Protein backbone atom coordinates (compact mmCIF):
# COMPACT_ATOMS: atom_id res chain seq x y z
CA UNK A 1 0.00 0.00 0.00
CA UNK A 2 2.76 2.34 0.98
CA UNK A 3 4.65 1.61 -2.22
CA UNK A 4 1.67 2.50 -4.31
CA UNK A 5 1.25 5.82 -2.62
CA UNK A 6 4.94 6.61 -2.78
CA UNK A 7 5.06 5.88 -6.46
CA UNK A 8 1.98 7.93 -7.14
CA UNK A 9 3.48 10.80 -5.25
CA UNK A 10 6.67 10.53 -7.22
CA UNK A 11 4.71 10.67 -10.44
CA UNK A 12 2.80 13.68 -9.34
CA UNK A 13 5.96 15.52 -8.39
CA UNK A 14 7.44 14.96 -11.81
CA UNK A 15 4.24 16.14 -13.39
CA UNK A 16 4.27 19.19 -11.16
CA UNK A 17 7.69 20.20 -12.40
CA UNK A 18 6.55 20.24 -15.98
CA UNK A 19 3.29 22.11 -15.59
CA UNK A 20 3.42 23.96 -12.34
CA UNK A 21 0.27 25.96 -12.84
CA UNK A 22 -1.85 23.07 -14.02
CA UNK A 23 -4.57 21.99 -11.63
CA UNK A 24 -4.03 18.67 -9.97
CA UNK A 25 -6.17 16.12 -11.64
CA UNK A 26 -6.65 12.65 -10.27
CA UNK A 27 -7.07 10.01 -12.88
CA UNK A 28 -10.14 8.34 -11.46
CA UNK A 29 -10.27 5.47 -13.92
CA UNK A 30 -6.69 4.42 -13.60
CA UNK A 31 -6.27 2.14 -10.63
CA UNK A 32 -2.67 1.02 -10.64
CA UNK A 33 -0.65 -0.96 -8.10
CA UNK A 34 3.10 -0.97 -8.69
CA UNK A 35 4.53 -4.31 -7.62
CA UNK A 36 8.06 -4.30 -6.21
CA UNK A 37 10.13 -6.47 -3.92
CA UNK A 38 7.77 -6.82 -0.95
CA UNK A 39 5.99 -10.08 -0.18
CA UNK A 40 2.96 -10.77 -2.41
CA UNK A 41 0.50 -10.27 0.47
CA UNK A 42 1.39 -6.55 0.67
CA UNK A 43 0.14 -6.13 -2.87
CA UNK A 44 -2.91 -8.34 -2.30
CA UNK A 45 -3.86 -5.92 0.45
CA UNK A 46 -3.22 -2.95 -1.83
CA UNK A 47 -5.47 -4.46 -4.51
CA UNK A 48 -8.32 -5.21 -2.11
CA UNK A 49 -8.11 -1.79 -0.46
CA UNK A 50 -7.99 -0.03 -3.80
CA UNK A 51 -10.96 -1.92 -5.22
CA UNK A 52 -13.00 -1.42 -2.05
CA UNK A 53 -12.26 2.28 -1.75
CA UNK A 54 -12.94 3.23 -5.35
CA UNK A 55 -15.99 2.54 -7.44
CA UNK A 56 -13.80 1.13 -10.14
CA UNK A 57 -14.30 -2.42 -11.22
CA UNK A 58 -10.77 -2.68 -12.54
CA UNK A 59 -7.24 -2.61 -11.25
CA UNK A 60 -3.90 -2.95 -13.03
CA UNK A 61 -0.76 -4.45 -11.53
CA UNK A 62 2.48 -3.19 -13.03
CA UNK A 63 5.79 -4.96 -12.46
CA UNK A 64 9.30 -5.14 -13.88
CA UNK A 65 11.99 -7.82 -13.88
CA UNK A 66 12.06 -10.12 -10.86
CA UNK A 67 8.88 -8.55 -9.48
CA UNK A 68 6.87 -10.06 -12.35
CA UNK A 69 6.58 -13.34 -10.41
CA UNK A 70 5.34 -11.41 -7.38
CA UNK A 71 2.70 -9.66 -9.49
CA UNK A 72 1.40 -13.00 -10.74
CA UNK A 73 1.39 -14.32 -7.15
CA UNK A 74 -0.55 -11.29 -5.92
CA UNK A 75 -3.09 -11.59 -8.75
CA UNK A 76 -3.60 -15.29 -8.13
CA UNK A 77 -3.89 -14.99 -4.33
CA UNK A 78 -6.41 -12.15 -4.63
CA UNK A 79 -8.48 -14.02 -7.16
CA UNK A 80 -8.48 -17.41 -5.48
CA UNK A 81 -8.57 -16.55 -1.83
CA UNK A 82 -10.24 -13.18 -1.41
CA UNK A 83 -12.23 -11.90 -4.37
CA UNK A 84 -13.58 -14.83 -6.30
CA UNK A 85 -15.51 -12.64 -8.72
CA UNK A 86 -12.26 -11.11 -9.98
CA UNK A 87 -11.08 -12.17 -13.43
CA UNK A 88 -7.86 -11.52 -15.33
CA UNK A 89 -9.14 -9.32 -18.13
CA UNK A 90 -5.86 -8.44 -19.80
CA UNK A 91 -2.15 -9.19 -19.63
CA UNK A 92 0.41 -7.18 -21.56
CA UNK A 93 4.12 -7.95 -21.81
CA UNK A 94 6.65 -5.28 -22.63
CA UNK A 95 10.30 -4.28 -22.56
CA UNK A 96 11.81 -1.15 -21.05
CA UNK A 97 15.32 0.16 -21.20
CA UNK A 98 16.73 0.95 -17.78
CA UNK A 99 19.51 3.57 -17.46
CA UNK A 100 23.00 2.02 -17.47
CA UNK A 101 24.65 1.32 -14.11
CA UNK A 102 28.00 2.81 -13.27
CA UNK A 103 30.74 1.33 -15.43
CA UNK A 104 28.30 0.09 -18.04
CA UNK A 105 28.00 1.79 -21.37
CA UNK A 106 24.57 0.58 -22.41
CA UNK A 107 21.29 0.46 -20.56
CA UNK A 108 19.82 -2.93 -19.77
CA UNK A 109 16.54 -4.16 -21.13
CA UNK A 110 14.00 -5.19 -18.56
CA UNK A 111 10.78 -7.06 -19.12
CA UNK A 112 7.57 -5.57 -17.83
CA UNK A 113 4.11 -6.93 -17.26
CA UNK A 114 0.71 -5.32 -16.78
CA UNK A 115 -2.02 -7.52 -15.37
CA UNK A 116 -5.53 -6.09 -15.36
CA UNK A 117 -8.05 -7.61 -12.97
CA UNK A 118 -11.73 -6.84 -13.39
CA UNK A 119 -14.80 -7.56 -11.32
CA UNK A 120 -17.64 -9.21 -13.16
CA UNK B 1 17.33 -26.67 -24.52
CA UNK B 2 18.62 -29.39 -22.28
CA UNK B 3 15.97 -28.68 -19.69
CA UNK B 4 13.23 -29.04 -22.25
CA UNK B 5 14.53 -32.36 -23.39
CA UNK B 6 15.08 -33.58 -19.86
CA UNK B 7 11.57 -32.68 -18.87
CA UNK B 8 10.12 -34.33 -21.93
CA UNK B 9 12.11 -37.43 -21.22
CA UNK B 10 10.90 -37.48 -17.66
CA UNK B 11 7.33 -37.24 -18.86
CA UNK B 12 7.79 -40.04 -21.27
CA UNK B 13 9.32 -42.28 -18.64
CA UNK B 14 6.40 -41.76 -16.33
CA UNK B 15 4.03 -42.50 -19.16
CA UNK B 16 6.01 -45.59 -20.04
CA UNK B 17 5.64 -46.99 -16.54
CA UNK B 18 1.91 -46.80 -16.71
CA UNK B 19 1.35 -48.28 -20.15
CA UNK B 20 4.39 -50.25 -21.05
CA UNK B 21 2.97 -51.84 -24.16
CA UNK B 22 1.51 -48.64 -25.56
CA UNK B 23 3.22 -47.29 -28.66
CA UNK B 24 5.18 -44.10 -28.18
CA UNK B 25 3.23 -41.22 -29.52
CA UNK B 26 4.71 -37.81 -30.00
CA UNK B 27 2.31 -34.95 -29.59
CA UNK B 28 3.13 -33.10 -32.78
CA UNK B 29 0.97 -30.06 -32.14
CA UNK B 30 2.13 -29.40 -28.65
CA UNK B 31 5.31 -27.37 -28.72
CA UNK B 32 6.20 -26.66 -25.15
CA UNK B 33 9.31 -25.18 -23.56
CA UNK B 34 9.55 -25.59 -19.80
CA UNK B 35 11.27 -22.56 -18.32
CA UNK B 36 13.39 -23.13 -15.22
CA UNK B 37 16.31 -21.45 -13.49
CA UNK B 38 18.74 -21.09 -16.41
CA UNK B 39 19.51 -17.73 -18.01
CA UNK B 40 16.78 -16.47 -20.39
CA UNK B 41 18.98 -16.97 -23.46
CA UNK B 42 18.91 -20.76 -23.00
CA UNK B 43 15.18 -20.68 -23.46
CA UNK B 44 15.36 -18.20 -26.33
CA UNK B 45 17.53 -20.75 -28.12
CA UNK B 46 15.08 -23.54 -27.28
CA UNK B 47 12.19 -21.50 -28.71
CA UNK B 48 14.02 -20.65 -31.93
CA UNK B 49 15.24 -24.23 -32.43
CA UNK B 50 11.81 -25.66 -31.74
CA UNK B 51 10.04 -23.29 -34.13
CA UNK B 52 12.63 -23.85 -36.84
CA UNK B 53 12.61 -27.63 -36.55
CA UNK B 54 8.88 -28.14 -36.50
CA UNK B 55 6.28 -26.91 -38.94
CA UNK B 56 4.32 -25.49 -36.06
CA UNK B 57 3.57 -21.82 -35.96
CA UNK B 58 3.08 -21.85 -32.21
CA UNK B 59 5.05 -22.47 -29.08
CA UNK B 60 4.08 -22.36 -25.42
CA UNK B 61 6.39 -21.40 -22.56
CA UNK B 62 5.47 -22.87 -19.20
CA UNK B 63 6.93 -21.60 -15.95
CA UNK B 64 6.30 -21.70 -12.21
CA UNK B 65 7.20 -19.39 -9.35
CA UNK B 66 10.42 -17.41 -9.75
CA UNK B 67 10.89 -18.72 -13.29
CA UNK B 68 7.88 -16.70 -14.44
CA UNK B 69 10.10 -13.61 -14.84
CA UNK B 70 12.54 -15.66 -16.90
CA UNK B 71 9.73 -16.87 -19.16
CA UNK B 72 8.65 -13.28 -19.82
CA UNK B 73 12.28 -12.32 -20.51
CA UNK B 74 12.69 -15.21 -22.96
CA UNK B 75 9.46 -14.33 -24.77
CA UNK B 76 10.40 -10.67 -25.03
CA UNK B 77 13.99 -11.29 -26.19
CA UNK B 78 12.83 -13.78 -28.84
CA UNK B 79 10.15 -11.44 -30.12
CA UNK B 80 12.21 -8.25 -30.14
CA UNK B 81 15.63 -9.45 -31.14
CA UNK B 82 15.26 -12.62 -33.18
CA UNK B 83 11.82 -13.35 -34.57
CA UNK B 84 10.03 -10.12 -35.17
CA UNK B 85 7.00 -11.82 -36.71
CA UNK B 86 6.27 -13.58 -33.43
CA UNK B 87 3.30 -12.35 -31.40
CA UNK B 88 2.08 -13.19 -27.92
CA UNK B 89 -1.18 -14.93 -28.76
CA UNK B 90 -2.23 -16.03 -25.28
CA UNK B 91 -1.20 -15.77 -21.65
CA UNK B 92 -2.77 -17.86 -18.93
CA UNK B 93 -2.13 -17.53 -15.21
CA UNK B 94 -2.73 -20.39 -12.82
CA UNK B 95 -2.01 -21.82 -9.40
CA UNK B 96 -0.62 -25.25 -8.59
CA UNK B 97 -0.19 -26.96 -5.27
CA UNK B 98 3.32 -28.24 -4.76
CA UNK B 99 3.90 -31.22 -2.42
CA UNK B 100 4.83 -30.13 1.14
CA UNK B 101 8.51 -30.00 2.05
CA UNK B 102 9.84 -32.00 4.95
CA UNK B 103 8.52 -30.65 8.24
CA UNK B 104 5.65 -28.85 6.57
CA UNK B 105 2.12 -30.12 6.87
CA UNK B 106 0.56 -28.40 3.89
CA UNK B 107 1.67 -28.04 0.31
CA UNK B 108 2.56 -24.59 -0.94
CA UNK B 109 0.69 -22.85 -3.67
CA UNK B 110 2.77 -21.76 -6.62
CA UNK B 111 1.76 -19.47 -9.44
CA UNK B 112 2.16 -20.68 -12.98
CA UNK B 113 2.15 -18.98 -16.33
CA UNK B 114 1.71 -20.21 -19.89
CA UNK B 115 2.77 -17.84 -22.64
CA UNK B 116 1.87 -18.83 -26.18
CA UNK B 117 3.85 -17.27 -29.00
CA UNK B 118 2.57 -17.52 -32.57
CA UNK B 119 4.01 -16.66 -35.94
CA UNK B 120 1.82 -14.52 -38.09
Give me the tens of pLDDT residue by residue for chain B, a chain 120 residues long.
444 444 444 444 444 444 444 455 554 456 999 999 999 999 999 999 999 887 788 999 999 999 999 999 999 999 999 999 999 999 999 999 988 888 888 888 999 999 999 988
Identify the CATH number of the domain defined by range B28-97+109-120.
3.30.110.20
Looking at the partner chain, which of A73, A75, A111 has a beta carbon nearest the beta carbon of B72? A111
CA distance A36 to A50: 17
DSSP for residue B37: S
| Beta strands B108-119 and B86-98, pairing class | antiparallel
Contacts for A109 with CB less than 8 Å, ≥ 6 apart = A95, A96, A97, A98, B76, B77, B80
Is the CB of B111 less than 8 angstroms away from the CB of A72? yes
A2-7+28-98+108-119 classified as CATH 3.30.110.20: yes
Is the CB of B72 less than 8 angstroms away from the CB of A115? no
Using a CB-CB cut-off of 8 Å, the residues of chain B touching A97 are: none
Scanning chain B, the segments in alpha helix (DSSP H) are 2-18, 40-53, 67-77
DSSP for residue B28: T
Maximum separation of any 2 CA atoms in chain B, in Å: 50
The residue extents of the domains of chain B are: 28-97+109-120
Is the CB of B75 less than 8 angstroms away from the CB of A93? yes
Q: What is the ipTM of this complex?
A: 0.72
pLDDT along chain A (120 residues), means of 10: 46 43 52 95 95 88 96 96 93 93 87 94
The values of phi and psi at residue A18, to 5°, are -75, -50
DSSP for residue B105: S
Amino acid sequence: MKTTENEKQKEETVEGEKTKEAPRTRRPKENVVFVGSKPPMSYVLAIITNLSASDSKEITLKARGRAISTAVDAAEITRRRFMKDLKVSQIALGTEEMPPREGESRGRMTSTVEITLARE
